[in-house]
Structure 1
Protein backbone atom coordinates (compact mmCIF):
# COMPACT_ATOMS: atom_id res chain seq x y z
CA UNK A 1 0.00 0.00 0.00
CA UNK A 2 1.18 3.52 -0.64
CA UNK A 3 -0.18 6.98 0.07
CA UNK A 4 0.61 10.26 -1.63
CA UNK A 5 -0.50 13.84 -1.67
CA UNK A 6 -1.34 14.72 -5.28
CA UNK A 7 -0.96 18.45 -4.53
CA UNK A 8 2.76 17.90 -3.84
CA UNK A 9 3.52 15.90 -7.00
CA UNK A 10 5.85 17.42 -9.58
CA UNK A 11 7.72 15.99 -12.53
CA UNK A 12 10.95 16.73 -14.37
CA UNK A 13 8.99 17.91 -17.45
CA UNK A 14 5.46 18.97 -18.38
CA UNK A 15 3.10 15.99 -18.57
CA UNK A 16 5.59 13.85 -16.66
CA UNK A 17 3.66 10.99 -15.09
CA UNK A 18 3.84 8.89 -11.98
CA UNK A 19 2.47 5.44 -12.80
CA UNK A 20 0.10 4.54 -9.98
CA UNK A 21 -1.41 1.27 -11.21
CA UNK A 22 -1.96 -1.00 -14.15
CA UNK A 23 -5.42 -2.56 -14.24
CA UNK A 24 -5.47 -5.35 -16.82
CA UNK A 25 -5.80 -3.22 -19.98
CA UNK A 26 -5.67 0.25 -18.40
CA UNK A 27 -3.14 2.52 -16.74
CA UNK A 28 -3.69 5.00 -13.90
CA UNK A 29 -1.26 7.90 -13.88
CA UNK A 30 -0.79 11.10 -11.94
CA UNK A 31 0.40 13.86 -14.26
CA UNK A 32 1.87 17.24 -13.39
CA UNK A 33 2.10 20.01 -15.98
CA UNK A 34 2.56 23.71 -16.48
CA UNK A 35 2.41 23.53 -20.28
CA UNK A 36 -0.37 22.58 -22.72
CA UNK A 37 -0.39 19.11 -24.25
CA UNK A 38 -0.91 18.76 -28.02
CA UNK A 39 -4.15 18.27 -29.93
CA UNK A 40 -4.75 14.53 -30.15
CA UNK A 41 -7.33 11.80 -30.54
CA UNK A 42 -7.20 8.79 -28.23
CA UNK A 43 -7.71 5.33 -29.65
CA UNK A 44 -9.71 4.37 -26.56
CA UNK A 45 -11.64 6.01 -23.73
CA UNK A 46 -9.90 8.24 -21.19
CA UNK A 47 -10.99 9.52 -17.78
CA UNK A 48 -9.35 12.82 -16.82
CA UNK A 49 -9.75 14.13 -13.26
CA UNK A 50 -8.25 17.42 -12.05
CA UNK A 51 -6.91 16.91 -8.53
CA UNK A 52 -5.11 20.22 -8.01
CA UNK A 53 -4.96 23.45 -9.99
CA UNK A 54 -7.11 23.96 -13.06
CA UNK A 55 -7.23 22.90 -16.70
CA UNK A 56 -8.94 24.42 -19.72
CA UNK A 57 -9.97 21.42 -21.83
CA UNK A 58 -10.24 22.41 -25.47
CA UNK A 59 -12.27 20.02 -27.60
CA UNK A 60 -13.96 19.90 -30.98
CA UNK A 61 -17.71 19.51 -31.23
CA UNK A 62 -19.52 19.75 -34.57
CA UNK A 63 -16.46 21.39 -36.14
CA UNK A 64 -16.20 24.08 -33.45
CA UNK A 65 -13.57 24.40 -30.73
CA UNK A 66 -15.11 24.62 -27.27
CA UNK A 67 -13.46 25.03 -23.86
CA UNK A 68 -14.51 23.58 -20.52
CA UNK A 69 -12.81 24.90 -17.36
CA UNK A 70 -11.95 21.98 -15.07
CA UNK A 71 -11.25 22.54 -11.38
CA UNK A 72 -10.47 19.99 -8.65
CA UNK A 73 -13.07 17.26 -8.62
CA UNK A 74 -14.26 17.90 -12.18
CA UNK A 75 -14.13 14.82 -14.38
CA UNK A 76 -13.78 14.75 -18.16
CA UNK A 77 -14.73 11.50 -19.91
CA UNK A 78 -13.18 11.33 -23.37
CA UNK A 79 -14.44 8.81 -25.89
CA UNK A 80 -12.28 7.20 -28.57
CA UNK A 81 -12.08 9.60 -31.50
CA UNK A 82 -12.69 12.82 -29.50
CA UNK A 83 -10.15 15.51 -30.50
CA UNK A 84 -8.94 17.43 -27.43
CA UNK A 85 -6.05 19.26 -25.78
CA UNK A 86 -5.55 20.19 -22.13
CA UNK A 87 -4.14 23.59 -21.13
CA UNK A 88 -3.19 23.94 -17.45
CA UNK A 89 -4.26 27.22 -15.88
CA UNK A 90 -1.45 27.83 -14.90
CA UNK A 91 -0.38 24.49 -13.34
CA UNK A 92 -2.25 21.28 -12.60
CA UNK A 93 -2.09 17.76 -11.26
CA UNK A 94 -4.34 15.37 -13.12
CA UNK A 95 -5.33 11.75 -12.62
CA UNK A 96 -5.66 10.00 -15.99
CA UNK A 97 -7.08 6.53 -16.54
CA UNK A 98 -6.70 5.22 -20.09
CA UNK A 99 -6.01 2.15 -22.17
CA UNK A 100 -2.45 0.83 -21.97
CA UNK A 101 -0.31 2.18 -24.80
CA UNK A 102 -2.97 4.72 -25.73
CA UNK A 103 -1.92 7.43 -28.14
Structure 2
Protein backbone atom coordinates (compact mmCIF):
# COMPACT_ATOMS: atom_id res chain seq x y z
CA UNK A 1 0.00 0.00 0.00
CA UNK A 2 1.04 3.57 -0.50
CA UNK A 3 1.12 6.53 1.84
CA UNK A 4 0.13 8.87 -1.01
CA UNK A 5 -3.35 9.85 -2.22
CA UNK A 6 -4.79 7.55 -4.88
CA UNK A 7 -7.03 9.23 -7.46
CA UNK A 8 -9.74 6.66 -8.13
CA UNK A 9 -10.23 7.76 -11.76
CA UNK A 10 -6.53 7.03 -12.41
CA UNK A 11 -6.72 3.71 -10.57
CA UNK A 12 -9.73 2.67 -12.67
CA UNK A 13 -7.95 3.74 -15.87
CA UNK A 14 -5.02 1.44 -15.04
CA UNK A 15 -6.88 -1.78 -15.91
CA UNK A 16 -9.56 -3.04 -18.30
CA UNK A 17 -10.60 -6.44 -16.88
CA UNK A 18 -14.25 -6.75 -15.86
CA UNK A 19 -15.34 -8.38 -12.58
CA UNK A 20 -11.67 -8.44 -11.50
CA UNK A 21 -11.27 -6.14 -8.48
CA UNK A 22 -8.10 -4.25 -7.64
CA UNK A 23 -7.11 -3.53 -4.05
CA UNK A 24 -6.67 0.23 -3.74
CA UNK A 25 -5.78 0.29 -0.05
CA UNK A 26 -6.44 -1.47 3.25
CA UNK A 27 -8.23 -0.22 6.35
CA UNK A 28 -7.40 -2.38 9.36
CA UNK A 29 -8.30 -5.91 8.19
CA UNK A 30 -10.43 -4.74 5.24
CA UNK A 31 -9.61 -4.32 1.56
CA UNK A 32 -10.90 -1.31 -0.31
CA UNK A 33 -11.44 -2.73 -3.81
CA UNK A 34 -12.45 -1.12 -7.08
CA UNK A 35 -13.81 -2.94 -10.11
CA UNK A 36 -15.18 -2.35 -13.55
CA UNK A 37 -18.29 -4.42 -14.12
CA UNK A 38 -20.63 -5.16 -17.00
CA UNK A 39 -23.13 -7.94 -17.54
CA UNK A 40 -23.84 -10.47 -14.81
CA UNK A 41 -21.73 -11.76 -11.94
CA UNK A 42 -22.78 -15.04 -10.27
CA UNK A 43 -25.26 -15.90 -7.52
CA UNK A 44 -23.18 -16.18 -4.36
CA UNK A 45 -23.16 -15.59 -0.61
CA UNK A 46 -20.56 -14.57 1.94
CA UNK A 47 -21.46 -16.61 5.01
CA UNK A 48 -19.56 -14.59 7.61
CA UNK A 49 -19.32 -11.04 6.30
CA UNK A 50 -21.42 -8.23 4.91
CA UNK A 51 -20.45 -6.79 1.50
CA UNK A 52 -20.46 -3.02 0.97
CA UNK A 53 -20.94 -1.49 -2.51
CA UNK A 54 -20.50 2.13 -3.64
CA UNK A 55 -21.26 2.95 -7.28
CA UNK A 56 -18.62 5.34 -8.61
CA UNK A 57 -19.94 5.48 -12.17
CA UNK A 58 -22.85 3.95 -14.04
CA UNK A 59 -25.58 1.86 -12.46
CA UNK A 60 -25.43 -1.43 -10.55
CA UNK A 61 -28.30 -3.84 -9.92
CA UNK A 62 -28.09 -6.39 -7.11
CA UNK A 63 -30.57 -9.25 -7.04
CA UNK A 64 -31.14 -10.69 -3.57
CA UNK A 65 -32.64 -13.97 -2.38
CA UNK A 66 -34.26 -13.29 0.96
CA UNK A 67 -36.72 -15.19 3.18
CA UNK A 68 -39.68 -13.36 1.56
CA UNK A 69 -38.46 -14.09 -1.99
CA UNK A 70 -36.27 -12.40 -4.55
CA UNK A 71 -35.91 -8.66 -5.06
CA UNK A 72 -33.54 -6.37 -6.92
CA UNK A 73 -32.04 -3.13 -5.65
CA UNK A 74 -30.97 -0.49 -8.14
CA UNK A 75 -27.90 1.58 -7.30
CA UNK A 76 -27.30 4.70 -9.39
CA UNK A 77 -24.00 6.57 -9.34
CA UNK A 78 -23.18 7.70 -5.80
CA UNK A 79 -25.45 5.14 -4.10
CA UNK A 80 -24.30 2.69 -1.43
CA UNK A 81 -25.74 -0.65 -0.35
CA UNK A 82 -24.67 -3.38 2.05
CA UNK A 83 -25.57 -7.01 1.38
CA UNK A 84 -25.97 -8.73 4.77
CA UNK A 85 -23.81 -11.76 5.57
CA UNK A 86 -25.33 -15.02 4.36
CA UNK A 87 -27.62 -13.36 1.79
CA UNK A 88 -27.46 -14.85 -1.70
CA UNK A 89 -26.96 -12.08 -4.22
CA UNK A 90 -26.02 -11.47 -7.84
CA UNK A 91 -24.67 -8.11 -8.96
CA UNK A 92 -25.17 -7.09 -12.57
CA UNK A 93 -24.62 -3.98 -14.65
CA UNK A 94 -26.44 -4.04 -17.99
CA UNK A 95 -24.67 -0.89 -19.23
CA UNK A 96 -21.47 -1.14 -17.19
CA UNK A 97 -20.37 0.48 -13.95
CA UNK A 98 -17.39 1.23 -11.76
CA UNK A 99 -17.76 0.19 -8.13
CA UNK A 100 -15.92 0.35 -4.82
CA UNK A 101 -16.28 -2.41 -2.23
CA UNK A 102 -15.20 -2.93 1.39
CA UNK A 103 -14.54 -6.54 2.32
CA UNK A 104 -12.37 -8.33 4.88
CA UNK A 105 -8.93 -9.06 3.41
CA UNK A 106 -8.95 -12.48 1.75
CA UNK A 107 -12.68 -12.53 0.97
CA UNK A 108 -13.26 -14.35 -2.34
CA UNK A 109 -15.23 -12.42 -4.97
CA UNK A 110 -17.47 -15.44 -5.51
CA UNK A 111 -18.22 -15.90 -1.82
CA UNK A 112 -18.34 -19.10 0.21
CA UNK A 113 -21.27 -20.53 -1.76
CA UNK A 114 -21.84 -19.87 -5.44
CA UNK A 115 -23.30 -21.08 -8.72
CA UNK A 116 -20.98 -22.23 -11.49
CA UNK A 117 -18.46 -19.48 -12.19
CA UNK A 118 -18.62 -18.15 -15.78
CA UNK A 119 -15.40 -17.40 -17.65
CA UNK A 120 -15.89 -13.62 -17.46
CA UNK A 121 -15.90 -13.61 -13.62
CA UNK A 122 -12.51 -13.55 -11.88
CA UNK A 123 -12.67 -15.78 -8.79
CA UNK A 124 -10.08 -13.92 -6.73
CA UNK A 125 -9.45 -12.27 -3.39
CA UNK A 126 -8.44 -9.12 -5.27
CA UNK A 127 -5.41 -8.08 -7.28
CA UNK A 128 -2.83 -5.46 -6.33
CA UNK A 129 -3.28 -2.13 -8.05
CA UNK A 130 -0.47 -1.69 -10.58
Unaligned 5+ runs, structure 1: none
Task: Find runs of 4+ consecutive structure 1 residues off by over 6 angstroms.
Answer: none
Which position in structure 2 is the counterpart of 1:62? 67
Match status 1:26 vs 2:30: yes
Cα deviation 1:62-94 (Å, max 9, x = unaligned): 251111111011111122101111011210100
Q: Which has the higher strand share?
A: 1
Larger radius of gyration: 2
For normalisation by structure 1, the TM-score amounts to 0.87
Name the Cα RMSD after superposition: 2.0
For normalisation by structure 2, the TM-score amounts to 0.70
Match status 1:97 vs 2:109: no
Size of the alignment, in residue pairs?
Answer: 103
Unaligned 5+ runs, structure 2: 112-130
